[in-house]
Structure 1
Amino acid sequence: MSGRRADLAIVGGGLSGGLIALALRQARPELDVVLLESGEMLGGNHRWSWFDTDLDEAGHALMAPFRKAEWRGYDVFFPDHSRSLDASYFSLASSDFDPGLRRELAQDTIRTNREVVHCTPDSVTLADGEVIPARAVIDCRGFGPAHHLRGGWQVFMGRHMRTSKPHGISRPVIMDACVEQLGGYRFVYVLPLGARDIFFEDTYYKDDPVLDRSALSSRLDQYAREQGWDGEIIGSETGVLPVISGGDFRAFRREQQLDRMPQAGTAALLAHPLTSYTVPQAVETAQLVAANADLPGDQLAALLASHAQRHWNRTSYYRLLGRLLFDAAAPNKRYRIFQRFYRLDERLIERFYAAQSAPFEKFRVLAGKPPVSILRAIGAIFGKSQPLVMSNDRKAHGA
């Protein structure tokens, strides 16, 4: 059975798919848009964060409809260096992403609990046999096995706790690396969501994508005890994200058929290669689609493939740093790279997270006494990292 013909059908109601639907609603409210999500809630069970300087005025306007946490300034802690920085920081939970989209989008746009079994540039087939024809279809499902890419992984488990008494934290802690380093760069990420609400996440830059839930949960328990926190656990999340340090993008582009099927989000590698932040890239892509909303599927595929290629080209520097992190630094000494980085100029740090580093800033990050062996650094620059492959039933998702 076939449904109505939509102008655009978006497969995947995560960050990228949801923001594309929102940008289309704001720019072209007359269009018939369908947003398909396999789960019950848009955005799944995730939290996305970004710095004020990651987005321009239009980008902040796109994110304005969502209820989110905001702080002025943040802290970092390393064994030999701590620092407070001034940039504003934002965080959005999927529990606020879902109602925000439902408020803003047309009532017949959102279709949750819809499993997609096949999609083409102009149609979507659901598990129940329904076919949704559309002028253009955009696949926004997550990152899968990528044999032509290389790098490591960011593995994490986060927990939202309502503490029995005020926790006393007033600013986010983006990195607390004063924890035991266990087989990779490890840090704890802390967000004070209220006087008695705290979100904290144990994060690892690892060579493999293994997520040991029991071990990470125990370490979160330990961290909470050390901070004097106790109370009720009201939410948790886990994730495995690719940290891309190299590869053959042209081969990846052919393998993923980016030129034939319109794709966005992490499936098209539209994320910061080193930090795995996705909000700036998701906003940029949503605005690009909204500005070209009348294109048919094949032309939209070409546009988005070129957009992904440009992003790959302009982020080569961050992949180089990823090779230094994974291939030049001993796993338990990787924290030294970030410890040194956070001694640099604050504006440099801001532009780094926005993936907009100026040429002299790129040089400055690498200049001076390196935190890794020169010989190992040279080997990492000219060598190859391990392939970014994980099993089909453990797809990574956006952060």
Structure 2
Amino acid sequence: MTKRVECDLAILGGGLAGSLIALAFAARRPDVRLTLIERDAVIGGNHIWSFFDGDVVPGDRWLVDPLVSHRWPQGHEVRFPGHQRRLDTPYNSVASPKLDAHVRAVLGDAVLTGADAMSVSPSGITLADGREIAAGAVIDARGAGDLSMLRCGWQKFVGHTLRLDAPHGIDRPVIMDATVDQIDGYRFVYLLPWDARTIFIEDTYYSNSAALDVATIGARIAAYAQAKGWHGTVIHREQGVLPVVHGGDFDAYWPSDDPIARAGVRAGLFQPMTGYSLPDAVRFATWLVDQPLDRLAAVTRARAAAHWRNGSYYRLLGKMLFGAAQPDQRWRIFARFYRLSAPLIQRFYAGRSTLTDRIRILCGRPPVPIRDAMRTLLNPPA
């Protein structure tokens, strides 16, 4: 085994953010010698990332399109008590096996899996097996890290893919089916029809707690499928907990004197209200290829700090969701939101809400008690 690897850029973490950075550099700056380092045996873990067409600008689609496992050009729908809506915006999903295969095909020997980092500096990484990665620059994309400096609610989920005995009859993704019992905050079921007899069912919660009872939620998924008349075999399982950040101290989360560059959730680069990271990960990767490697920590922190400032509105919405709405009534906020215009909804998910959008989201009859909403508004997030 080679004990020392030399490269121009070491990317620590082979999740979505780290992988997109590696792919962007391989395409746009092939002169940069890369090493992508992942602790687990595969790139991307066990995840499905999804995005609307409007989340990624046309000029950046070259980066993400090769990763798309399934596309629904017919759009998607949402379901709430007394209100169901179909929206025309096409929807796309990226599954981790395809991400893993594509990254390995493009990067080849530049991918190191099963490589756990023991120490990290701006010029290198020492792995648990003793190998040393000597790098001109290092960027840390290993997930969220320590979130104790931030005030968070949580979007948590368990997902099962079922291979059914008969067609399920779903022709497009159901982004939110909130007609289910409201348990542990705002609960909804998310459906992705992979083919006529294969469907992904995810039971999701906007909760005050990050605790995830996988067995109980798995039983709820089975009950949901049974109620729909779907019978079959579970062929895939996944789970996750995403932060919904509604306040905190960015400078404590990423101190200005930290010499290590960051990316992805570790840099706070996600939509605060949803925990949704793919649009920011694509934008960041295509931006990063034009930045000087010798100033990577400074430029990445400056971009993340600007993202934090720009996210204050979404953090305010998150604070209203978790602070002003009773847990079993949170669905009303989303039900009202999904009566707004389709372009506004699209800009919201992409993190590009205009001033007019922001006013429109907050105006009108409030879906939460006035007193609680005012108490929240008078104590805005940091």
TM-score normalized with structure 2 length:
0.97
| Structure 2: tracts of 5 or more residues without a match | none
Q: Pick from 99, 118, 138 the counterpart of residue 101 of structure 2.
A: 99
Does residue 89 of structure 2 align to residue 90 of structure 1? no
- Deviation at residue 103 of structure 1 after TM alignment: 1.8
Q: Which letter maps to 2:254?
A: R
| Structure 1: tracts of 5 or more residues without a match | 388-399
Does residue 342 of structure 2 align to residue 346 of structure 1? yes
Secondary structure of the 1:186 match is strand
Q: Which residue of 2 aligns with 1:154?
A: 155
Greater shift, 66-75 or 304-313, is seen at 66-75
CA distance in 2, matches of 1:13, 1:146: 20
Q: Which letter maps to 2:79?
A: F
CA distance in 2, matches of 1:128, 1:351: 46
Secondary structure of the 2:90 match is strand
Is residue 10–residue 34 contact of structure 2 (8 Å, CA) maintained in 1?
Answer: yes
CA-atom RMSD in angstroms:
1.5
Secondary structure of the 2:9 match is strand
Q: Which letter maps to 2:156?
A: V
User: Counterparts in 2 of 1:94-243, with a 5 A limit?
Assistant: 94-105=96-107, 107-243=108-244
Secondary structure of the 2:89 match is strand
CA distance in 1, matches of 2:60, 2:231: 38
Q: Which residue of 2 aligns with 1:55?
A: 56
- Deviation at residue 184 of structure 1 after TM alignment: 0.1
Secondary structure of the 1:156 match is strand
Secondary structure of the 2:67 match is coil
Does residue 10 of structure 2 align to residue 9 of structure 1? yes
CA distance in 1, matches of 2:112, 2:251: 34
- Deviation at residue 24 of structure 1 after TM alignment: 0.3
- Deviation at residue 30 of structure 1 after TM alignment: 2.3
CA distance in 2, matches of 1:259, 1:125: 18
Q: Which residue of 2 aligns with 1:329?
A: 325
- Deviation at residue 183 of structure 1 after TM alignment: 2.2
Is residue 44–residue 100 contact of structure 2 (8 Å, CA) maintained in 1?
Answer: yes
User: Counterparts in 2 of 1:299-318, with a 5 A limit?
Assistant: 299-318=295-314
CA distance in 2, matches of 1:4, 1:91: 34
Structure 1 moving runs of 4+ over 4 Å:
none
CA distance in 1, matches of 2:153, 2:283: 25
Q: Deviations over 1:345-399 (max 9, x none)?
A: 11000000011011011000000000011110111223478x9xxxxxxxxxxxx
- The percentage of aligned residue pairs carrying the same residue is 46
Q: Which letter maps to 1:43?
A: G
Is residue 37–residue 111 contact of structure 2 (8 Å, CA) maintained in 1?
Answer: yes
Q: Deviations over 1:144-180 (max 9, x none)?
A: 3322211201110001111111111111000000000
Q: Deviations over 1:268-309 (max 9, x none)?
A: 1111101111111111111122112x422xx10000000101
Does residue 280 of structure 2 align to residue 281 of structure 1? yes
Secondary structure of the 1:193 match is strand
1:197–1:307 Cα change, 3 Å: same
CA distance in 1, matches of 2:134, 2:49: 32
Q: Deviations over 1:154-211 (max 9, x none)?
A: 1100011111111111110000000000120000000001111101100000001000
Q: Which letter maps to 2:235?
A: I
- Deviation at residue 259 of structure 1 after TM alignment: 4.2
Q: Which letter maps to 2:89?
A: A
Q: Deviations over 1:296-328 (max 9, x none)?
A: 2xx100000001011111111111100110000
Q: Which letter maps to 1:160?
A: T
Is residue 316–residue 380 contact of structure 2 (8 Å, CA) maintained in 1?
Answer: no
Secondary structure of the 1:305 match is helix
Higher relative contact order (CA 8 A, sep 6+): 1
Is residue 67–residue 100 contact of structure 1 (8 Å, CA) maintained in 2?
Answer: no
Q: Pick from 284, 288, 293 the counterpart of residue 295 of structure 1.
A: 293
Q: Which residue of 2 aligns with 1:374?
A: 370
Is residue 5–residue 132 contact of structure 2 (8 Å, CA) maintained in 1?
Answer: no
CA distance in 1, matches of 2:260, 2:153: 27
Secondary structure of the 1:136 match is strand
Q: How many residues align?
A: 380
Q: Which residue of 2 aligns with 1:261?
A: 260
- Deviation at residue 230 of structure 1 after TM alignment: 1.2
Greater shift, 60-69 or 214-223, is seen at 60-69
CA distance in 2, matches of 1:245, 1:10: 29
User: Counterparts in 2 of 1:374-393, with a 5 A limit?
Assistant: 374-383=370-379
Q: Deviations over 1:51-80 (max 9, x none)?
A: 100111122111122242111211100012
Q: Which letter maps to 1:194?
A: D
Q: Which letter maps to 2:58?
A: E
Q: Which residue of 2 aligns with 1:28?
A: 29
